[in-house]
A and B are shown apart, each in its own frame.
Chain A
């Protein structure tokens, strides 16, 4: 199995009157790449995935997979692995039959039964549930169903794997384990993969590149590092990672924060009113008898203890300044921003 590239050009889709579900989306995915479509619900990410899979059609624009234009090609002829959010396992079939389905329904070059059995068993050990082949979906845990859905999609040796919120229904620890495992599996198989998620941790952790979607458009497409360091706009900055938001005014290359809550910070931004995004690790708190903030909570997190401070402008996540003693709960303190991303307000 090797991956193919995907070229999406100006794809638009509209369901009835009102806002378009997709409003001119272009995206280029390289062979073997792992791309995440990240956005809030209603941003069009699942619609885009369904169009790629042939389960929905684009009103305008084109989709090419492996250099071949997909217009008018039905889902069953695309050879794309699709994993549904609810897994969509066939409940009346056991795990073995679920995985074998894509091979058994072939009209041309259907492998002989022995070969199908061998491939199904290989896939089940690849997804690490070889002992489950006689179980029915009702008898599996959520994580096991997820693995069956994945094995079933991989059985047709797809050139492209599409995953719609694959970990949405799982609890926190299982989803963490599964997404690391999925990333390893994807590297092992080398298949081009597109994952839809609303969980920014998930996207940042597994994907080579992340496309942040908003209201039917791609707000920004880039590597997780690039997105975190240079968010294109306030939406992307707000959606990726936790960040404290603070209004400020930029004058002569210096940001003056509203109510002088923080000391002024030199920035590179156009003059005028702006919104500053400051991540917790860039916001240092130190005990100060006349500080405007009060320490409300401490959360030990390894080397950098996270602090929650409140002031007249709301609550902020910060870390303790490395050169000062750790403030105590209830103590007054002052904040200082070391860096910020500034967007016109």
Chain B
């Protein structure tokens, strides 16, 4: 009895907390996703392959994941810059800017989509001058990218910000006393310390962009093969009562997203210093 107790984990409630976690995760995530994963196979293996190899579906998937990737990449330096300004600089209106960063979280995405469309439409405030120099945003894949950047930015900012705050300026000062220039301190000291947070921010912004529907469909124009995203195609299949076809596209999105997030997690684990070996 005493020996059994001695071997018990010092943190209490392991069994209970793991049990609740798994049960809840199953109910909320695993069961619906399993339903999604099972549904398409009523078409048969060849049916699923046919549904997915449709040129329009492939174009939509390519657009969804391609722009999500690009928008998350673009949000990385931008989010870092905003976080840097919020953490390191003191200026009037800083709190206002701070609050503004979260707006894409709070706004119904359809509202954001309408606002962006009005702004970037050929007769809009930004769309008109851009049209002058031959750049079309609204109703093009570029518009999809812009909408995805908008919804993803807060993720990039909010994941980097606390880590940057925690980092302080002392490591940079130490680098300076050791003879490093500004750029060297940034590249060798600051960025590596922020890398895990940047990666997390990238992953979240990417995931958000892949799943984004409301804001994108307004600005995209939804031209098949050009500016049509995969989630929209799913909705169209559903409206045509092609539930299995919709589930097939959904399954493809699920698989790619899962692989991408898994890969990010692996890179993250590899980046973590001091916990190797």
Interface residues of A (CB under 8 A from B): 53-55, 74-82, 84, 86, 88-94, 101-102, 105-107, 135-139, 152-153, 155-156
Q: Are B179 and A76 in contact (CB under 8 A)?
A: yes
- Contact A139/B274 with A88-B174, A90-B189 known, Cβ cut-off 8 Å: yes
B273 touches which of A84, A136, A152 (Cβ 8 Å): A136
Q: Are B273 and A76 in contact (CB under 8 A)?
A: no
Within 8 A of A (CB), among B94-108: none
Residues of chain B within 8 A (CB-CB) of A55 are 173, 176-177
Within 8 A of A (CB), among B170-213: 170-171, 173-181, 184, 188-189, 192-193, 195
Q: Are A81 and B177 in contact (CB under 8 A)?
A: yes
Q: Are A90 and B176 in contact (CB under 8 A)?
A: no
- Distance A137 CA – B174 CA, assembled complex (angstroms): 15
- Distance A152 CA – B175 CA, assembled complex (angstroms): 10
B188 touches which of A88, A101, A153 (Cβ 8 Å): A101
Residues of chain B within 8 A (CB-CB) of A84 are 170, 173-174
- Distance A302 CA – B275 CA, assembled complex (angstroms): 48
- Distance A138 CA – B170 CA, assembled complex (angstroms): 17
Report the minimal beta-carbon distance from B210 to chain A, rounded to whole angstroms. 29
A-side interface mostly = loop
Residues of chain A within 8 A (CB-CB) of B171 are 88-91
Q: How many A-B residue pairs have CB under 8 A?
A: 85
Report the minimal beta-carbon distance from A62 to chain B, rounded to whole angstroms. 20
A106 touches which of B170, B175, B176, B179 (Cβ 8 Å): B179
- Distance A137 CA – B179 CA, assembled complex (angstroms): 21
Q: Give the nearest-CB partner of B194 in chain A.
A: A92
Interface residues of B (CB under 8 A from A): 170-171, 173-181, 184, 188-189, 192-193, 195, 273-275
A91 touches which of B173, B181, B193 (Cβ 8 Å): B193
Residues of chain A within 8 A (CB-CB) of B189 are 90
Report the minimal beta-carbon distance from A111 to chain B, rounded to whole angstroms. 13
Residues of chain B within 8 A (CB-CB) of A93 are 192, 273
Q: Are B188 and A82 in contact (CB under 8 A)?
A: no
Report the minimal beta-carbon distance from A194 to chain B, rounded to whole angstroms. 14
Residues of chain A within 8 A (CB-CB) of B170 are 84, 86, 88
Residues of chain B within 8 A (CB-CB) of A79 are 179
- Distance A76 CA – B170 CA, assembled complex (angstroms): 14
Residue of A86, A105, A107 ringed by the most chain B CB atoms within 10 A: A105
18 A–B contacts from the bound complex (CB under 8 Å): A53-B177, A75-B177, A76-B180, A78-B177, A80-B177, A81-B177, A82-B177, A84-B174, A86-B170, A88-B173, A90-B171, A92-B192, A101-B188, A105-B179, A135-B274, A138-B274, A138-B275, A153-B178
- Contact A91/B274 with A55-B173, A84-B170, A105-B188 known, Cβ cut-off 8 Å: yes
Q: Give the nearest-CB partner of A82 in chain B.
A: B177
- Contact A76/B181 with A84-B170, A101-B175 known, Cβ cut-off 8 Å: yes
Q: Are B274 and A76 in contact (CB under 8 A)?
A: no
- Distance A88 CA – B275 CA, assembled complex (angstroms): 19
- Distance A322 CA – B31 CA, assembled complex (angstroms): 87
Q: Are A76 and B176 in contact (CB under 8 A)?
A: yes
A105 touches which of B178, B273, B274 (Cβ 8 Å): B178
Q: Are A105 and B175 in contact (CB under 8 A)?
A: yes
- Distance A153 CA – B184 CA, assembled complex (angstroms): 17
- Distance A75 CA – B179 CA, assembled complex (angstroms): 7
Residues of chain B within 8 A (CB-CB) of A138 are 273-275
- Distance A278 CA – B22 CA, assembled complex (angstroms): 70
- Distance A136 CA – B195 CA, assembled complex (angstroms): 17
- Distance A270 CA – B231 CA, assembled complex (angstroms): 93
Given contact pairs A76-B176, A84-B174, A92-B195, enumerate 20 new A-B contacts (beta carbons under 8 Å): A55-B176, A55-B177, A75-B173, A76-B178, A81-B177, A88-B171, A88-B173, A90-B188, A90-B192, A92-B273, A93-B273, A94-B273, A94-B274, A101-B175, A101-B178, A105-B180, A105-B181, A106-B179, A107-B181, A138-B275
Residues of chain B within 8 A (CB-CB) of A101 are 175, 178, 180, 188
- Distance A137 CA – B171 CA, assembled complex (angstroms): 13
Report the minimal beta-carbon distance from B148 to chain A, rounded to whole angstroms. 30
